[in-house]
Structure 1
Amino acid sequence: MPKSTENAEGATWPLPKFRFEVDLGDELKGISFQEVSGMDVESQIIEYRNSNTPLFSSQKMPGIAKFGNVTMKRGVFVNDNSFWDWHSQFKMNSIKRRTIVIKLLDEDGNITMQWTLSNAWPTKITSTDLKSDANEIAIDTIEIAHEQLIISNGK
């Protein structure tokens, strides 16, 4: 793959998605995950019909934005309970919210795209399944709720 995003004819290459890292707040930076999914946004639809409209139908307008939960999967490491420690911080209906940054990197480790999740907190943690005849690594899954998704290109 060429170092540049353009080949000799000037055509551009799509970005590969296999090299990325995640910052889970100030104390947890550059964490490697096996998979990150669910970075989506949806606008609710408001249907409205003005009383003097000659058309016998409603107009559709964009409403409140709704952000899907982001799911992250990573390998289990000895003495690393960072997901569980964060989730256990629930106190009287409140939790420490974080800004999470997901960075897509190029072959030199430079940021090509970045997704920032604002006011993020864990809603669900799923520990690995255990099988005596498996030939796989142990994987933990964390589901993150957030209130805003900001996408930026490079730095």
Structure 2
Amino acid sequence: MANKDGSKENAIWPMPQFYFQVKWGSTEINFSEISGLDNEAQIIEYRHGNSPVFYPIKMPGLGKVNNVTMKRGVFVGDNTFWQWFSKIKLNTVARVTVTISLLNEAGKPTMTWTLRNAWPTKITSTGMKSDDSSAAIDQLDVAFETMEIANKNNP
């Protein structure tokens, strides 16, 4: 965040997590919560036979990403995710690129996660309770092949 004079005094503060956008291919879709943006390297353990140390060497192996969970409100007449999910046939599915951006106060992306070849693995419909007045929320679990992370500096 910048001061009135344009200096970046508040650049030492972390970004708030509530201002974000999701682009689904070329369409922007609103979500209330996103979790599971994990990226890790699997560990390969190796120890050769004449090693004087009784511990293995740990080396980085293949990269691994987990499914991302997205939650959003249920809207009348909006079957976007159900239509996408119904296209899964045997070993074919419509894959898309999903871009999740954390926005600054001006609405410009500062940090971006790009999920390549994403497709739905699970849709969990809202629960229903007669004495609860909270919004109906659907949950979508998305698998993808690779994640690219970019941290941009937008003054």
2:112 partner amino acid = Q
Residue 80 (structure 1) aligns with: 78
Give the aligned partner of residue 93 of structure 1. 91
Structure 2 residue matching 1:124: 3-state secondary structure:
strand
- Correspondences of 1:111-126 after superposition (within 5 Å): 111-126=109-124
Question: Which of these residues, 37, 40, 49, is aligned with residue 38 of structure 2?
Answer: 40
Say if 1:44 and 1:62, in contact at 8 Å, map to a contact too. yes
Residues 5 and 70 of structure 1: CA distance in aligned 2, closer, same or farther (over 3 Å): farther
Q: After TM superposition, give the deviation of residue 24 of structure 1 in Å.
A: 1.4
The amino acid that maps onto 2:150 is S
**Matching residue of 1:102:** 100
User: Compared with structure 1, are the counterparts of its residues 147 and 5 closer, same or farther at alpha carbon in structure 2 (3 Å cutoff)?
Assistant: farther
CA contact 1:41–1:66 (8 Å) conserved in 2: yes
**Given the two structures, how large is their TM-score scaled by the length of structure 2?**
0.89
Cα distance, 1:57 vs. partner?
2.2
Distance 1:11 1:41 in 2: 25
- One of 145, 150, 153 as aligned partner of 1:152: 150
Q: CA RMSD in A?
A: 1.8
2:22 maps to what in 1? 22
Are 2:97 and 2:116, in contact at CA under 8 Å, matched by a contact in 1?
A: yes
For 1:11 and 1:145, the matched residues in 2 are separated by 34
Unpaired segments of 5 or more residues in structure 2? Answer: none
Aligned partners of 1:81, 1:59: CA distance in 2, in Å? 50
* Contact 2:2–2:11, Cα closer than 8 Å, also in 1: no
- 1:123 to partner: Cα distance: 0.5
